[in-house]
Structure 1
């Protein structure tokens, strides 16, 4: 009779002696009796036996759906680093908070390292008893080589492997190699050092949605955990979280995988756009456009929209500026933000300000700013004038405080690029010009901006301290024919390219990528009037019915 007490032994025995009937019964028993206390062990058993795909699938699904309960009742020390990365990166993982996922990773690392510490101690004691000391032992205890161990673990092992006081100098020379600083180093042919045996939580944390953790988890858990603080990668993740949470103006420019809400969340990462009087949103579920449920209260004749600090700012052709609060679902008119300096060509958030480029005669262009910190009452403040005259603005982006404007003049075959530094209030024209026969759009990634032309040419722009303040370099070709591209945006690791229904749909290299920027292309069809595409986070109930194309 199978029971929870004997099923694991029977499972291994039936596999060892190839008793298929019993082996199948054991698998079925485990599938039927999965619980928070045994699913980790069941999953690891299924991984080690290729014929247990059904058990592996069911136990993995159980891990995803009951993560919090398993974390509270059990530890994950039996899972490998790859298992943990797959688990915490899954959009289907159900957890009350991202903080609990971080706690589980740290618990997994500590439990595994304690067990590894005891194993290493045993190996070294046996080596000492046999009169053999590995060359790599003390070197492996350097913090750089064992970032996953805390001070207690390192101290315990260090005491264990200390060379005997009565060891001769010849013996010490045979068991260590001096690197000139008095510290022994490992020979290239030695077995792997301690760094390959400890569990590094930062490597797993990198696979989570770490951007979504709370401030308390950031400052109390990560900032005080030696496993994270002793690892440069762990500190780098902390810096990324802090930067993202403080640079609210960058949230609309891209959505990195670590900022994607999981499927069980009540929030959704979306791409916002507008067409006529309607605000539309696109989700990763099916990459199709849907109406915003609260569209009935949105102002008419939309000319521009941005997303900043959970609010959607909307400007109309009547030069009025409104803010739609996603937490309240209400629309407010910013009374002090009426445009008086002509009409706005475009708006974008930079720092804590809303920057607008305006013209009253299509010849002269000015730059104004509006504080996003003074809610409902701030007025527009003049900043400066752009250098170019009598030309058409076809695209605007920025790198930090550097405003980048792309100009096209009727009858000319080139696109000129101007950089206006909002800090120094200086404007400079780049010597490099682009082919005007291929229209362009822009997208941003961290401290760089990219320009994508309709002929597939991709250009990288980086900031520099001296005029003309930015550099432009051709990066690659994404395709080699003309497409009707309306916009582009980085979204969950992919580059989304928004094109019209009439665009050339010829095949292109499907697995094209750019290291550390995007890992693939995805084309999304839009209606022709759509021209603005920004990332936002909305409650699920704001996402309405599909838009007919």
Structure 2
């Protein structure tokens, strides 16, 4: 049988009138020296807190007076008006106090009424305050709506002081949200620094924040600042602001934060580093016109080469104007440089990602089938090839300013020809792993791009030659074999190359085609994968990489870059 609103209102009115005439109270609630005459039955019916207090005693031991310390007399009076008279006397100034009191006294219907009031007044001016209360009082639905509003109104909120009251986890969620509506990543980092300074000052004064009165110390701030920078998009800030960030006292006092800011600077100053490494703090947000992608060139079923790209959510798109021939490729900035050889024909090109078109570059002095491309500083290097030991380079930074303005120059030779080889940049060195002619072992050579000298390492580092792929993770370089063996380069100079075995990423041998780090994930492209093998699994073998994804796909090149979203129109089928 349903409850009649008319009868319920009438009952509440009669109760209120009777209380005014004669209350017949059987208990007094003392709140900070003020007495409130109440009824055990009503309190127990409405409040689990009072129900537990009063039901724990026998009839003979029931208290005549109960003291309530956690609530002010003014707030408790409002609570009683709600309980006895069904009055919703909420205002902007008193609703938080009533809400906290209702939560403490475990009056569910009053908590719900307070939440509904806050829902109705939720706006950009009070969403931070409401989110703080909603989190402390476990109002998940209200908290979710408040968070969405903070994400949408970030540009408005960052100019106000309310954001400084957010706790670490909430600010981390906010600045790390892919949908954050920020006009500039500079604004996001500046907000993080403001919050850090504010919280550090509060800690130094011994102020307490939060419902548990936790004191934030400077040491804790040093741990929080790096996490906040990693959650933001620090690699995408303006270059001038990035230098300001490196000079900021908060950053200078946190070695971990300084390292992140320095890595962001290197990301901007060394565009050739983006080829096989894309950290989460270089990912464009959802409202950006640009999209981080992993680009793959592979042979299609019709015998023609196709070019595809994969977004962070795992969706593959067809890219227009794929290369006509098998290419060796590398990313410099956001553009892709390729060298293709077909018979006696050679083509050197740049694929411009802003308009998805090719431009021809000056060709190498000799045919270079099967060569490797590597970026160091502002140069693109071409290494070796079939029956070739030559090392050539050209200045990609100059070429991007003035199309087709530079030519290739020869800068050295490998000490011997290699086949089945791979090249990677480690600092100022280009390291080449490959099979020496008439040998089954993996030989390793390096080219010093500063001294223009080549060095061959005589110690047996990798054993039998097998297909391999290299990838970057920050400053670290890794080499992955098709057997699943993972090696980390720990030192590289003219005298020695030291590699550390980090274990096996997988047990079954596969046909390995490439690997890149993309937004905390190691993407491995391979074929011949055991159907029983997990295609996705967690790992702790690589710092800041949490997941390994094995993608069954053939490719001749695999690299990270950024593309305009308006070109991502045709999904692969």
TM-score class, shorter-chain normalisation, is 0.7 to 0.9
Q: 1:411 to 1:31 in 2, by over 3 A?
A: farther
Aligned-pair distance for 1:223?
Answer: 4.7
TM-score w.r.t. structure 2 length?
0.74
Instruction: Give the counterpart of 2:262 among 217, 223, 239.
Output: 239
The 3-state SS of whatever aligns with 2:151 is helix
For 1:40, which of 115, 119, 128 is the aligned residue?
128
Determine the structure 1 residue equivalent to 2:34: none
Q: How does 1:72-471 map to 2 (within 5 A)?
A: 72-116=159-203, 194-195=217-218, 201-220=225-244, 222-223=245-246, 225-276=248-299, 277-285=305-313, 287-292=314-319, 295-296=320-321, 298-317=322-341, 318-334=345-361, 336-343=362-369, 345-359=371-385, 362-375=386-399, 376-389=404-417, 391-408=418-435, 413-424=440-451, 425-436=453-464, 438-468=466-496, 470-471=497-498
Equivalence for 1:29: 117
Quote the Cα distance in structure 2 between the aligned partners of 1:48 and 1:400.
48
Cα distance, 1:290 vs. partner?
Answer: 1.6
Give the SS at the match of 1:458: strand
Helix, strand or coil for the counterpart of 1:92? coil
Judged with a 3 Å threshold, the aligned counterparts in structure 2 of structure 1 residues 227 and 30 are, in CA distance, closer, same or farther, namely same
* Structure 2 unmatched ranges of 5 or more: 1-87, 209-213, 300-304
Give TM-score scaled by structure 1 length. Answer: 0.77
**How much has 1:24 moved relative to structure 2?**
0.7
Unaligned runs of 5+ in 1: 123-190
- The 1:392/1:302 distance shift into structure 2, 3 A limit, reads closer
Cα distance in 2 for partners of 1:70, 1:54 equals 21
Give the whole-Å Cα distance in 2 for the aligned partners of 1:333 and 1:265: 30
CA distance in 1, matches of 2:103, 2:216: 34
Cα distance 1:194–1:377, how it changes in 2: closer, same or farther (>3 A)?
A: closer
1:72-122 deviations in whole A, cap 9, x for unaligned?
3452122112221222122232211111111222232344445555555x9
Shift of 1:421: 2.8
Deviation at 1:332, TM superposition (A): 1.9
Cα deviation for residue 205 of structure 1 reads 2.6
Q: Which residue of 1 aligns with 2:24?
A: none
Using a 3 Å threshold, how does the CA distance of structure 1 residues 495 and 313 change in structure 2: closer, same or farther? same
Cα 1:323–1:439 shift into 2, 3 Å: closer
1:195–1:114: structure 2 CA closer, same or farther, 3 Å change rule? closer
Equivalences, count: 465
Q: Which one has the largest radius of gyration?
A: 2
| Distance in 2, Cα, partners of 1:380 & 1:5 | 72
| 1:541 alignment partner, SS class | helix
Highest relative contact order (Cα 8 Å, sep 6+), 1 or 2? 1
Partner of 2:499: 472
Instruction: Tell me, yes or no, if the aligned pair for 1:337 and 1:370 is still in contact at 8 Å.
Output: no
1:402–1:92 Cα change, 3 Å = same
Distance 1:193 1:405, change over 3 A: closer
What is the Cα-based RMSD across aligned positions, in Å? 2.8
Distance 1:194 1:115 in 2: 9
